[in-house]
Every structure is written in C-alpha cells, then in structure tokens.
Structure 1
Amino acid sequence: MTAGFARSNALQDRLHRLVPGGAHTFAKGSDQYPEGMAPVLVGGSGARVRDVDGNTYVEYGMGMRAVTLGHGYRPVVDAVRAVLDDGLSFSRPTELELAAAEDFLRLVPGADMVKFGKNASDATSAAVRLARAATGRDLVAYCHDHPYFSSQDWFVGSLPIRAGVPETTRGLARSFPYNDLDAVRELLETDRGRVACVILEPATSLCEPEPGYLEGLRALCDEHGTVLVFDETITGFRWSEHGAQGLYGVTPDLSTWGKAMGNGFPISAIAGKRELMELGGLATDRERVFLLSSTHGAETVSLAAFRAVVRAYAETDPIGVMERQGAALAAGVAEVARAEGVEQFLDTAGRPSCLVFRTRDADGNPSQPMRTLFLAETLQRGVLGQSYVISAAHTDDDVARTVDAVRGALPAYRKALETGQPERLFAGRPVAPAHRSLAAPRRL
C-alpha cells in the first residue's frame, strides 16, 4: 500500500495556482484521478515511477503512449548525451537532420519526403493545410470515433471544450464513423468537390479496420480527388515501426507521426508523397504552403533520440514484447475478475500493446464512479495509469504486481456493484471527462 499523497497534494495545489488546470496536458490533470490521489512524480526507470511521497508504481500509459522502450532507456539516453556537448540548435541544417530523414523514409516506404516537428498536433494541422492548398478546397472530413487529432482550431471546434473557436471554422469540418465506407461515400457525394482531405487513425486500440475498409477509403479519395491522411501518432512504433500503413498495406497520401518516435523526447513528423510535400519546398511553381517551420523542429537531441529508437526497433523486438506482455496482463486481469465474479463489469479490451480497462455499473453501463473506485484501489496498491497501455519495459514481475493490485481492488469493486453506491467507497468526486465544456463537476 502507498504511504499516502500528502506532499503530492500540496504540490498539486501550488500547480493549480500557477498552471491552468494544474497540468500541461488535459489527460494528466488531477481531475482524471481520484481526489487527493493524484501523484506528483519525480522520475522513473523502465516501467516503474516514483512520486514525491516516496511511493513507487508500475506505470501504464507511459507518457500518454510516448514511451515504448521504457523510462531512461540506456541506448536512447546515451545517444542524446553524445550530441549535447556539440550544441542543440543552429542557423543551418545539420548532417543529423539528413540521417534522421533517411532513417525515417527507410521505415515508411510509401513516403517520399518528411519534415520533423515537435508535436503531432502541429503535424496533423500541417497535413490539413497542405491538403487544402493542394486541392483548393476548404472542408475537412475526420473520423469522429477517434477522440483527438489536434489542438488547433480546425479540430478543437468539434470538441465540447471549444470556446474561442469561431463558428465559421467549425462549419468547415465534417465527421464520419469508423469502419463505415458508405458514410464516407455519402459525405463525399454530398459535398462533392469541396472536401480537401479525409483524416483518421488507421486503427485504434478498440477498432481494427474491417477487411477492405482502408482500401475502400483509398479508392474513394482517389475517385473524388481528396487527400487521404493517416494519423499514425499512436499506431506508429506501437502497431509497427512502419506504421499501420505498413501493417495493413494501404498507403495514404500523407501521414503524421509523434508519440513513440523519440521514446519520450519531443519529436513529430509529417510525411507523404513528393508532389504534395514539395508544395512546402522550393521545387514548385505553385503558391507555396507554410508546411512546418519551427525553431526547435530539428534540434539535435530529439533527432538523436529518434535515430536511437530506430536502432532499437531494428535490433530488438519492442512490439513483440508489448504484444506478449499486454496479452499476459489481459489474461491475468480476466482470471482474477472471474474469480471475484465481476468479469461482466470490469475487463480489459483492445490490442495487447494498447489495452484499456473498462468499468461498468450493476446495469452494465460505463461508470465514472466505478472507474474512480477502481483507480483509487489500484493506486493504493502501486499501479498508476488511466489505461493499461504497456511498454516493452514491462517485465513479468510488473505484470504480476499489476494483477495482484487488481485482485486486491476487486472486493471493494464487488461491494460497490452489490450496493450500487461506489461513491461511499472513495473520497471526493468522481473523475470527469477531460474534454468537457465546464470545470464542473471537478471545479476547484
């Protein structure tokens, strides 16, 4: 059991006074954790992290899916240290930029050119801008089953938390469900000649493409002269080092990358066909596109980290490890849930390398109070994470410790199901959706 959260709570209060929301990412906010149980971390190694109160946890989520090789992964750290003494940012490109681009394009054979940035949100927005410029069209079609594409207005206007986004901007987006070709066909017919791009994640933790779906999207976009964009922010280096496009054998016009590219170091990319990408270059007679232009887009530290990640994927099998350990974790959680008789109300789902856990009430409905109770019980037992997204650093012992924590949490979970009153078993208010329009129900 943990030693408590007194110092974490004190530091979180100070964070709320200085940082809007108390964190720099919605998913890291204290409102995503049980009240009074939001650890403030000081560091980690592999899949273990420690907080300011001296508690140690098996961590899941791993930097919101950005860390696939483990915290402090030595080859990446050594590669970064090797470039530090020579400076980070310069007034001209470095040889490292060329080497990193060559590494990337060897991994993604469907892409001819690549440009690096710092976060995938900028990369997806650059892809939308490029598609609009190439087609002369304004509308963007995005998959509404995929929760997040960008922090820029073209997408934020579709979220519940959209204050400050002009109504005119909101009107330029169209949405469609995943795995429904007819819906995309109807959308493209209804707005014939107006849709610049179709953007989606080629797969998610809970949704694999049905046979022919991605191929059908490719054909529809070709028919309508629409740019097909795959958001590989999560699938890249988690489904495959070649991206989901390599795994499923469908090549988009553009793809965007981030997260695990740098094993936690900040790096992203937009990549694609030369005839599109060169609109942001110098070998074009058309009006140029402001593609990506960033002071820190090609600083040496993150490029060195990326190259070390590429080597790690070539020399070891991180994806295979994530798949095996994720499958073992899912099996262990299922076993203890069955033993406690709650398997219909608590389970894991999704691709083994990107698992989520699902919490339901006695009526079988998704439940934030039940989720809060489960988080509180497992946090107390040394497991940190809003999902079970795993890394190649998770050992057999980490998985066993997690299953033990779930086993220990289940008597309280079963009691909550029997009484219908989970709120009596944890302190404070339940966790709340991250992208809600008001601070309530977790207003300070």
Structure 2
Amino acid sequence: MQQFRRFENSARLKQRSHTLIPGGCHTYAKGDDQYPVLAPGFIERGSGCRVWDVDGNQYIEYGMGNRAVGLGHAYPPVLRAVEKALHDGCNFTRPTRIEVECAETFLDLVPGAEMVKFCKDGSHATSGAVRLARAYTGRDLVACCADHPFFSTDDWFIGTTAMNSGIPGTVRGLTVTFRYNDLSSVKELFARHAGKIAALILEPSRVDEPRDGFLHETQRLCRENGALLILDEMITGFRWHLGGAQGSYGIEPDLSTFGKALANGFSVSALAGRREYMRLGGLEHTDRPRVFLLSTTHGAETHSLAAAIATMRTYQAEPVIEHLYRQGEKLREGIETSARRHGLGNHFKIVGRPCCLAYATLDENGQSSQAFRTLFLQETIRHGVLMPSLVVSYSHDDAAVAQTIDAVDKALEVYARALDGGVERFLVGRPSQLVYRRFNQMVDSQ
C-alpha cells in the first residue's frame, strides 16, 4: 500500500504562518481547517495542471486557485504578455492605453454589457454593483440568494452568515435572502418589502440549472418592482460560455460581475452593465448624484490587464470551453463508474456542470459529512491528486484525467471500508470544518 506523503517543511511553515497571519493564509478557503491533517500546507510552484508543494510532492490539481486559473498554471502566452507589460512599468499617474484595450476586449465578449470597470477582486465588484443599484433606485435593501455561498467579504453579505461578528445589526438588517429556483420566495420578498429592494444578486447557476425560466421570471419580477438584477459570474464567467452564463441562458442582466478565470490567476475582476446604470460612476452625467463606484490604486495595473487580454484572446481563438466540458464529462463518467463499483452510488456524488464539477460526500445515513469529505481528500492527496473540487483547466489532458480517476478509485475503496468500519478508523486527525461557523473548535491539528 502506498505510504502517506511527508510534509515536514509544510509543518514548519505552518507554525510560522499562524504566528504572523490570522488563519495562517489570506483566503479562508485555503485554510488548514479546510483540509486534512495529512495535506500539503504550502505550494511551491505550478505548471499546467500540476503543482509541487514545499516538500517536493507533486499533485494534479483541481480547484485551480479557487477556479481563477482557467488555462493552467504559468500558461506561456499569458506569461509572455505579462512580462512584456512589466518592462514598461505597472502603475502610473494617469490611465494607460491598455485599460481601453482591455475594456474593448471584454465588452466584445459580453454583448449585453455596455460599460465595464475593472478592479482586483470579486468582493469589490459585487459591492460596487450593490452600491450602484442602491444609488440608482434610492432604496436600501438588497436581496441575495441564500443557496449561493459567497458574494463578498463586505458587511452587506458577511452579515448574512454565521461569521457576522463585528457587523452592526442595522447593517445586517439591510440584506434579505431568497432561494434559488424558488420563484415564490422572490415574490414573497417583493410583497413583504414593497418598494424597498434595490437589487437581487445571485449566481446564474451553481450546482442546479435554472428551472422553469427562473432567471427570466426573476428578471421580470425585478422590473415590475423597480429593482435591478445583478448576476454574479465570478465562477460561471468564461466557463459556461464565452459570453458568461448569461450568454448560455440568453439573459441580459442590468449589472454583472466577472473575475476568477478572467486573467488566468492574475488579479482582475470586472463590474459590467448597461450604460444607464454604469454612467453614474462617471464624469459626464448631471441628472443624478455622483456614485463613488470603484477606485483602487492597483485596479488597472498594466501587467494584470495584459494577462486578462491574453486570457480572453485565448478563449476566443482556441476551444478552451469545449475542452473544459469534454474533460469534465470524462471525469464524471469515470468517477461515477468507480463509485458504483464500490457500492457508493448513494454516498459519493458528482454534481454540477462538467466545466465546473464538485462532489458531495455522504455518511452511512445519507447525510452530508465533513469527516468523509476529509477522508476522501486525505486519500486522493495520498495518491497524488489535490482536489477540493473537480474544476478542470485547459491544461488537464487525457493522461491527467486517467490518473485522477485511478486515484479516486483507490480513495473510494477506503471510503467504502470506512462506511462499514467507521470513518474514525481511517481518518488521521480531525475532520475539516465549515468556513462559516460562529466559533472555532479546539481540535488537534497535528
């Protein structure tokens, strides 16, 4: 049987990192509490669909920088564009030509959008959209989809989660929620808060596809009630369709936000929408008050915009999205075959679109289980695959997919034994935990 990997260098770095950085890293989803004890703590480098940790262990990676790396790590055309831009400087007192070029390239891909503003992360983009909607409508309330896990680090969203410490109750009261694919919950919101809701924000889809015209019917209700529809395309953009999920579903929202795969891991996000709304953040209108929309010192760094242009042009010129669907479908078929062979059809499930798969780990009672998720991660890591999700990139070739299916098959063999004999017999250390929890738990992380 293959032995567990060694993580001595990661362990030493972990001790230093938690002393210096709250949580030990800068993204909660990358934290130690999200992974098994026997997991790489720090990545040294990446190339294509593979990464190497600080102990020299190699993995096929899925998740790809929390879905931000759509083409592959260190993708050569993107790196060449970045290097060329950096030789001329990265940040100046006035705008640069590349800002206009990047905006034109983006708007050519998202036909329903008429103006765009770039920033560095998704939180700023979605919060900018919320502020714009409140300014345009003169209303305070915003509604977000309760079934979608993350919209922003800002108070208007985090106040809806269990980690709402430090957020005033008055702020928490300004955000209400509705359910995905539940049009009655949207109708009820508008009836209960008549004339008070500025916007509804949701992802176009996540695991479930929109049913019975849900997106279009929600848009109709927004228009009837004077609210804006905001689609958060941080994940779906440049995965579902070249024009985003809105292109796939044939809907033009009032505002939409993009990021993640927009610049193949470089820090670029976008707020886009109809000119009627976006212009309020500009200099030319006189009929309404000015909106301090997005203004970041590093929002238009030339090398990041160069990365975005190179990434978008690769999507235009090459069959990137088709590849994501094809490889994702191969993964789904191979893993589901393995799950059935091990008798796990009701305990391990692949969910989502092939271009953006995830998995569900269920215990002996069919309930969602962090312990079984952690065991599965532990065993796939043991066999050279790092897969907090099943998100493929353009660099995941057939060999990588075949190796992944083999690793998953070995992990599911242990999973099946754990269902019969108890997960605690096979899991080394504590289970991973949910990000949104009110308090930390005292657990042994060694």
Q: TM-score range by the shorter chain?
A: over 0.9
Aligned to 1:396: 398
Of 37, 60, 63 in structure 2, the residue corresponding to residue 61 of structure 1 is 63
Contact 2:380–2:387 (CA under 8 A) maintained in structure 1:
no
Structure 1: tracts of 5 or more residues without a match: none
The one-letter code of the counterpart of 2:145 is C
Of 134, 137, 140 in structure 1, the residue corresponding to residue 139 of structure 2 is 137
Aligned to 2:6: 4
Contact 1:31–1:442 (CA under 8 A) maintained in structure 2:
no
- Give the whole-Å Cα distance in 1 for the aligned partners of 2:170 and 2:261: 35
SS in 1 for 2:142: strand
Contact 1:123–1:268 (CA under 8 A) maintained in structure 2:
yes
- Give the whole-Å Cα distance in 2 for the aligned partners of 1:353 and 1:39: 27
Aligned to 1:169: 171
Aligned to 2:248: 247
SS in 1 for 2:106: helix
SS in 2 for 1:390: coil
Matches within 5 A, 1:362-401: 362-401=364-403
SS in 1 for 2:337: helix
Of 397, 413, 416 in structure 1, the residue corresponding to residue 415 of structure 2 is 413
Aligned to 1:190: 192
SS in 1 for 2:124: helix
- Give the whole-Å Cα distance in 2 for the aligned partners of 1:312 and 1:233: 18
The one-letter code of the counterpart of 2:342 is E
- Give the whole-Å Cα distance in 2 for the aligned partners of 1:18 and 1:339: 46
**Structure 2 residue 198 is matched with structure 1 residue 209:** no
What do the CA deviations read for 1:34-70 (whole angstroms, capped 9, x no partner)? 1242331100111000011111000010000001100
The one-letter code of the counterpart of 1:183 is S
SS in 2 for 1:140: strand
Shift of 1:273: 1.0
- Give the whole-Å Cα distance in 2 for the aligned partners of 1:217 and 1:115: 25
Shift of 1:347: 2.3
What do the CA deviations read for 1:393-424 (whole angstroms, capped 9, x no partner)? 111111111111111122321111112x2012
1:441/1:356 CA distance change after superposition, 3 Å:
farther
Aligned to 2:308: 306
Shift of 1:241: 2.2
User: RMSD across aligned C-alpha pairs, in angstroms?
Assistant: 1.2
Aligned to 1:40: 42
- Give the whole-Å Cα distance in 2 for the aligned partners of 1:373 and 1:289: 49
Aligned to 1:321: 323
Shift of 1:3: 3.6
The one-letter code of the counterpart of 2:26 is H
Of 74, 77, 80 in structure 2, the residue corresponding to residue 75 of structure 1 is 77
- Give the whole-Å Cα distance in 2 for the aligned partners of 1:185 and 1:22: 43
Shift of 1:345: 1.1
**Number of matched residues?**
442
Paired-residue identity, %: 52
Matches within 5 A, 1:114-133: 114-133=116-135
Aligned to 2:428: 427
Aligned to 1:109: 111
Shift of 1:7: 1.2
Structure 2: tracts of 5 or more residues without a match: none
SS in 2 for 1:128: helix
Aligned to 1:18: 20
Aligned to 2:182: 180
Contact 1:233–1:256 (CA under 8 A) maintained in structure 2:
yes
What do the CA deviations read for 1:144-200 (whole angstroms, capped 9, x no partner)? 000000000000100111110000000001100001112111211211110000110
Contact 1:432–1:442 (CA under 8 A) maintained in structure 2:
no
What do the CA deviations read for 1:189-235 (whole angstroms, capped 9, x no partner)? 2111100001100111x111113111111111111110110101111
- Give the whole-Å Cα distance in 2 for the aligned partners of 1:362 and 1:176: 31
Aligned to 2:225: 224
**Structure 2 residue 150 is matched with structure 1 residue 151:** no
TM-score scaled to structure 1, two decimals? 0.98
Shift of 1:18: 0.8
- Give the whole-Å Cα distance in 2 for the aligned partners of 1:343 and 1:4: 32
Shift of 1:392: 1.4
Aligned to 1:274: 275
- Give the whole-Å Cα distance in 2 for the aligned partners of 1:405 and 1:261: 30
SS in 2 for 1:57: strand
- Give the whole-Å Cα distance in 1 for the aligned partners of 2:112 and 2:444: 47
Contact 1:30–1:38 (CA under 8 A) maintained in structure 2:
no
SS in 1 for 2:89: coil
- Give the whole-Å Cα distance in 2 for the aligned partners of 1:442 and 1:327: 38
Contact 1:79–1:308 (CA under 8 A) maintained in structure 2:
yes
Aligned to 2:438: 437
What do the CA deviations read for 1:339-389 (whole angstroms, capped 9, x no partner)? 222222112111011111111111111111111111111111101021111
Contact 2:238–2:321 (CA under 8 A) maintained in structure 1:
yes
SS in 1 for 2:349: strand
Contact 1:117–1:294 (CA under 8 A) maintained in structure 2:
yes
Contact 1:432–1:441 (CA under 8 A) maintained in structure 2:
no
Aligned to 2:260: 259
What do the CA deviations read for 1:305-344 (whole angstroms, capped 9, x no partner)? 0100111011101111011101101111111122222222
The one-letter code of the counterpart of 2:294 is L
SS in 2 for 1:409: helix
Contact 2:263–2:312 (CA under 8 A) maintained in structure 1:
no
Contact 1:369–1:430 (CA under 8 A) maintained in structure 2:
yes
Contact 1:3–1:53 (CA under 8 A) maintained in structure 2:
no
What do the CA deviations read for 1:80-114 (whole angstroms, capped 9, x no partner)? 11111100000111111111111111111111111
Contact 1:3–1:54 (CA under 8 A) maintained in structure 2:
no
- Give the whole-Å Cα distance in 2 for the aligned partners of 1:229 and 1:199: 5
